[in-house]
Amino acid sequence: MLDIKFVCKNADIVKENIKKKFQDSKIALVDEVVGLYDENCRCIQSMEELRAARNSLSKQIGALMAGGKKDEAEAVKKQVESNAERLVGLEAENRRLDAAIQKIMYTLPNIIDASVPIGRDDGQNVERLRFGEPFVPDFEIPYHTELMEGLDGLDLDSARRVAGNGFYYLKGDIARLHSAILSYARDFMIDRGFVYCVPPFMIRAEVVSGVMSFAEMENMMYKIEGEDLFLIGTSEHSMIGKFIDTVIPEETLPETLTSYSPCFRKEKGAHGIEERGVYRIHQFEKQEMIVICKPDDSAAWFDKLWQNTVDFFRTLDIPVRTLECCSGDLADLKVKSVDVEAWSPRQRKYFEVGSCSNLGDAQARRLKIRVKGKGERYFPHTLNNTVVAPPRMLIAFLENNLQEGGSVKIPEALRPYMGFKTVIGKK
């Protein structure tokens, strides 16, 4: 969320930013919210004048009563009562204007970084860097569900009977591999100085509206019926929410946290064949990284975060690339975002396995997270990034480590978490 004072002083910049995000229908909202803010300022000024008058008139009443001027004192009392009625009306109007301003401010997109490529949708995202050499073996790689079923590690039919489409049973060595990757990711991030956390898997509506846009919430979140609770779509939601309405001592920054959680997402809409199986699902698990830092440090932390994911995948012999999200593909709260994509030898292309985002002070402003420094209090910047999110990540792992004959090589870094097995054999 932007600062309303910034919007009032820089309306043209805000409008141009909206154009860059191809959200022209929101341009009129800028002038509307500026008008509401001006109206609210006048309302607040009138409220302050009435409160000041109340104090002055109260003193007059006391002086008049002390001087025996009861009739004059009663006249002043009537004026105080009239002012009190006006004040009640102005306070109600102030609340209405505050709500109207906040509603619009929650829909205006954050100011994107100058380095963000301009484009309408994800088809105009820009490849930045590649790590590792993509390869295609000289034997056929099965579709990932066939590959997992061949290793006796996946049961989709039973999951459909139990929960419907978008769910799965993992079994045997594939289930063990799933857990091993998460355990390795946890230790990988701890070794890089991050504090490990397991957060609440449900959060209140106040936190939901603080960490994401309304459009994202509608498309992603599951609501618990009869409760002010939502299932988290990623642990970033509850990890940033941990700091709601707090003042962080500046000397404790940066906060560098890595969290494990299950994640629950609606994943609305029809999806192609490559997004079936365990690629686009309603329930998965993830290791995340979260940073809360000084504004001047967030650009450097952004690069550190996506590099962590690249390094993690390279230890598992998976080629990856970074893809910078264009302006039209950025969620409204984001300043800048980079996707990490893994190589699929079967598809002969890359696909998304993680996303790194810098949200500036948008989440901190919504959640009232402040930093106490030497001068005035200020809003910190928040960043998040996926370390790894199986079972989708298992697709990249299995395809890139598949050997002729159907067995799967286990990279050295993962062997301690797999009982020091070197391969997963075909059943």
Question: Mean pLDDT throughout 6-35?
Answer: 97
For 157-191, what is each residue's pLDDT tens digit?
Answer: 999 999 998 899 999 999 999 999 999 999 999 99
Banded model confidence at residue 270, pLDDT cuts 50, 70, 90: very low
pLDDT over 90 for what percent of the chain?
81
Give the pLDDT score at 259.
97
Q: What are phi and psi of 288, to 5 degrees?
A: -120, 160
Give the pLDDT score at 61.
65
Residues 112 and 356: their CA atoms lie apart, in Å, by 15
Give the pLDDT score at 426.
73
User: Which H or E run contains 303?
Assistant: helix 298-314
Give the pLDDT score at 179.
97
CATH superfamily of the domain spanning 4-105:
Serine-tRNA synthetase, tRNA binding domain (1.10.287.40)
Give the pLDDT score at 220.
84
Give the pLDDT score at 70.
72
Residue type, 62: G
For 328-343, what is each residue's pLDDT tens digit?
Answer: 999 999 999 999 999 9
- Does position 273 have pLDDT exceeding 60, yes or no? no
Domain locations in the chain as residue ranges: 4-105, 122-424
Tokens of 344: 């699929």
Closest CA to 336 of 131, 29, 28, 126: 126
Question: Mean pLDDT throughout 56-63?
Answer: 69
For 64-107, what is each residue's pLDDT tens digit?
Answer: 666 677 777 767 677 777 778 888 999 999 999 999 999 999 99
DSSP for residue 164: -
For 276-331, what is each residue's pLDDT tens digit?
Answer: 788 889 999 999 999 999 999 999 999 999 999 999 999 999 999 999 999 999 99
Q: Are 288 and 236 in contact (CB under 8 A)?
A: yes
Q: What are phi and psi of 293, to 5 degrees?
A: -145, 175
Banded model confidence at residue 49, pLDDT cuts 50, 70, 90: confident
For 195-241, what is each residue's pLDDT tens digit?
Answer: 999 999 999 999 999 998 767 777 788 999 999 999 999 999 999 99
Q: Give 122-424's CATH code, choosing from 3.30.565.10, 3.20.20.80, 3.30.930.10, 3.30.470.20.
A: 3.30.930.10
